[in-house]
């Protein structure tokens, strides 16, 4: 990559605080998420003298500069201690909550900045306690909040309106959209290429272990479950049922290894009250089958894959919707 052109304008401002969005250690380039949610590019010469490699989620200080190409971050230094160490608390909370998006990190920064680290850490602990006890559902009961969602809901509930407006301001318009477009235009870090000659099912464990440190990021998960429950537990806000799959598996592409014996897999399915009402009567028919689409996580305590339903129907309800309506009496 060519060197960054000489500066034409140096912004006369104090160092800013931000969070590293990504960083390529080989090319020594990356980007920083600012407090306002926008991003700024780190060129090869952007790191401060003596600064080693950076990593995603790391708090840093930097000087915003401009050259012929555009704005960039200079004098980038990691934050380890001192008066700006709140950035470290932000990174710690983001990691504890599993939040990596620019929006979430910016909100955490605002919460720590306005309310203090003690307030933020106390609500992180409360969110973790709620998650361990079964989680917090959205008001309509359609799905369970993420751990970060629980944290932000707790923060909102404990702030007066004026402070809530400062920490959770209305979403900006074009400026935020442009910032996101610029962030998306940044070159992503190169992904490692691994060439494997032949892998059997028995080989999978060491291969997965080797891949795990460089695991990619999932942006969304969707699963479809088709089956018939034997028993359901109806709560005030949701219905819980379990379905167990014992195989066989659908035909796999040639060369993809599969186990000789298919282990039993149990799915714990959470269905919101409104969705369940739409299928409760239909599923009474012993010939009908439940169809659930949703997101999934592995619940180690329950030893089951948990599915939070986003859409629920049955085969017969689907068939009824697809069938043409019969003409009424007297219609031509």
Tell whether omega for the bond before 144 is within 30 degrees of 0, i.e. cis.
no
Are 57 and 104 in contact by the 8 Å Cβ rule? The answer is no
Per-residue pLDDT tens listing for the chain (332 residues) = 444 444 444 434 567 877 888 888 888 889 888 766 788 999 988 898 888 888 877 778 888 888 877 889 999 988 754 334 445 677 778 888 888 776 777 788 778 877 877 888 899 999 999 998 888 988 888 889 999 999 999 998 988 887 787 777 765 454 455 545 554 555 555 544 444 456 677 777 777 777 777 777 888 888 999 999 999 999 889 999 999 998 787 777 877 887 878 889 999 999 999 999 999 998 999 999 999 999 999 998 988 999 999 999 999 998 888 876 655 555 54
β-strand pairing of 304-314 with 265-272: parallel
- Picking from 88, 146, 131, 54, the residue whose alpha carbon sits closest to that of residue 42 is 54
- What's the DSSP call for residue 242? E
| Three-state DSSP state, 6 | coil
Report the C-alpha dihedral over residues 80, 82, 88, 93, rounded to 10 degrees. 150
d(CA 27, CA 45): 11
Which residues of 191-303 form beta strands (DSSP E)? 223-227, 232-234, 238-245, 265-272, 290-299
If one counts every other C-beta atom within 10 angstroms of the C-beta of residue 15, the result is 16
In this prediction, residue 241 carries a pLDDT of 94
Tokens in use for 286? Answer: 């012993």
Residue 59's DSSP bridge partners are 19
- Picking from 115, 123, 176, the residue whose alpha carbon sits closest to that of residue 152 is 123
In this prediction, residue 4 carries a pLDDT of 46
In this prediction, residue 193 carries a pLDDT of 47
d(CA 306, CA 289): 19
| CATH numbers and ranges of domains, the chain | 7-78 (2.40.50.140), 91-170 (1.10.10.1440), 221-322 (2.40.50.140)
- What's the DSSP call for residue 282? G
| CA-based R_g, the chain, Å | 26
- Picking from 266, 265, 274, 312, the residue whose alpha carbon sits closest to that of residue 290 is 312
d(CA 317, CA 302): 31
Q: Is 74 exposed, middle or buried (0-12, 13-18, 19+ CB in 10 A)?
A: buried
CA max distance for the chain:
87
In this prediction, residue 82 carries a pLDDT of 39
- Angstrom distances, CA of residue 153 to CA of 135, 137, 159, 230: 12, 11, 10, 35
Which residues of the chain form beta strands (DSSP E)? 7-10, 16-24, 29-33, 39-42, 59-67, 71-78, 223-227, 232-234, 238-245, 265-272, 290-299, 304-314
d(CA 26, CA 75): 19
- Angstrom distances, CA of residue 91 to CA of 79, 80, 85, 156, 257: 10, 11, 10, 20, 39
In this prediction, residue 11 carries a pLDDT of 38
């Amino acid at each position: 990559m060519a060197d960054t052109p000489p500066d034409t304008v140096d912004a006369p401002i104090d160092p800013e605080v931000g969070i590293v969005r990504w960083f390529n250690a080989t090319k020594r380039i990356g980007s920083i998420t600012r407090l306002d949610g926008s991003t700024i590019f780190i060129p090869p010469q952007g790191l401060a003298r003596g600064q080693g490699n950076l990593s995603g989620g790391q708090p840093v200080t930097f000087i915003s500069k401009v050259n012929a190409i555009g704005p960039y971050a200079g004098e980038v230094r990691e934050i380890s201690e001192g008066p700006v160490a709140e950035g470290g608390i932000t990174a710690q909370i983001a990691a504890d909550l599993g939040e990596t998006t620019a929006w979430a990190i910016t909100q955490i920064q605002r919460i720590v900045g306005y309310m203090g680290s003690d307030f933020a850490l106390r609500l992180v602990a409360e969110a973790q306690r709620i998650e361990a006890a079964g989680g917090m559902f959205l008001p309509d009961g359609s799905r369970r909040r993420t751990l970060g969602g629980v944290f932000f809901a707790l923060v909102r509930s404990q702030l007066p309106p004026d402070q809530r407006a400062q920490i959770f301001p209305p979403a900006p318009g074009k400026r935020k959209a442009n910032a996101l477009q610029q962030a998306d235009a940044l070159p992503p870090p190169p992904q490692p290429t691994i060439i494997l000659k032949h892998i059997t099912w028995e080989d999978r464990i060491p291969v997965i272990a080797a891949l795990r440190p460089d695991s990619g990021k999932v942006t969304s998960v969707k699963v479809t479950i088709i089956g018939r429950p034997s028993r359901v537990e109806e709560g005030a806000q949701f219905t819980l049922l379990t379905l167990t799959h014992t195989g066989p598996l659908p035909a796999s592409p040639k060369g993809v290894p599969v186990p000789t014996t298919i282990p039993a897999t149990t799915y714990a399915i959470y269905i919101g009250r409104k969705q369940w009402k739409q299928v409760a009567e239909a599923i009474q028919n012993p010939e009908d089958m439940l169809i659930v689409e949703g997101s999934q996580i592995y619940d180690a305590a329950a030893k089951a894959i948990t599915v939070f339903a986003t859409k629920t129907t049955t085969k017969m309800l689907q068939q009824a919707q697809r069938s043409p309506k019969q003409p009424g009496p007297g219609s031509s």
